[in-house]
Amino acid sequence: MKTKQKNNTQRSAAPWLGAILGLAGLLFGAALNPASAASRIKDIADFQGIRDNLLIGYGLVVGLNGTGDSLRNAPFTKQSLEAMLERLGVNTRDASLNTKNVAAVMVTASLRPFARVGTRMDVVVSTMGDSSNLQGGMLLVTPLLGADGEVYAVAQGPVAIGGFVAKGEAGTVTQGVPTGGRISNGSIIEREVPFDLASLETSSIALRNPDLTTARRVAQAVNAHFGRPVARAMDSTTIDLVPGEDFKGRMFDMMVEIEQLVVEPDQTARVVIDEASGIIVMGGGVRVNEVAVAQGNLTVRVTESEQVSQPGALASAGSTEKVDRSDIEIDDGSDKRLTMLKPGVNLRDLVDGLNALGVGPRDLIAILQTIKAAGALQAEILVQ
Digitized pLDDT (tens) for each residue of the chain, 384 residues in all: 444 444 444 444 444 444 433 434 433 344 444 444 789 999 999 998 898 999 999 999 999 988 899 988 888 998 899 889 888 888 887 777 888 899 999 999 999 999 999 999 999 999 999 998 899 999 999 999 999 999 999 999 999 988 767 766 666 777 778 899 999 999 999 999 988 887 888 889 999 999 999 999 999 999 999 999 999 999 999 999 988 777 877 888 889 999 999 999 988 888 888 877 777 787 777 777 776 766 665 445 556 567 766 666 666 666 777 766 666 665 555 555 555 556 656 656 666 666 666 666 677 777 778 878 877 777 888 877
| CA-CA-CA-CA torsion sign (65, 66, 71, 75) | negative
How large is the C-alpha radius of gyration of the chain?
32
Question: Looking at residue 48, what is its pLDDT?
Answer: 87
Rounded alpha-carbon distances, angstroms, from residue 7 to 10, 11, 188: 5, 6, 69
pTM: 0.66
Q: Which amino acid is at 123?
A: V
Q: What pLDDT score does 3 carry?
A: 44
Q: Evaluate whether 160 touches 183 at the Cβ level (below 8 Å).
A: yes
Helices and strands in the chain, H and E counts? 7, 24
What helix, strand, coil percent values describe the chain, rounded to 5?
A: 25, 35, 40
Residues 6+ apart with CB under 8 A from 284: 267, 346, 347
Q: How far, in Å, CA of 88 to CA of 96, rounded?
A: 18
| The pLDDT value given to residue 57 | 97
pLDDT of the residue at 169: 64
**Nearest residue to 59 via CA among 118, 131, 162, 119:** 131
- 215 SS3 class: helix
pLDDT at 110: 95
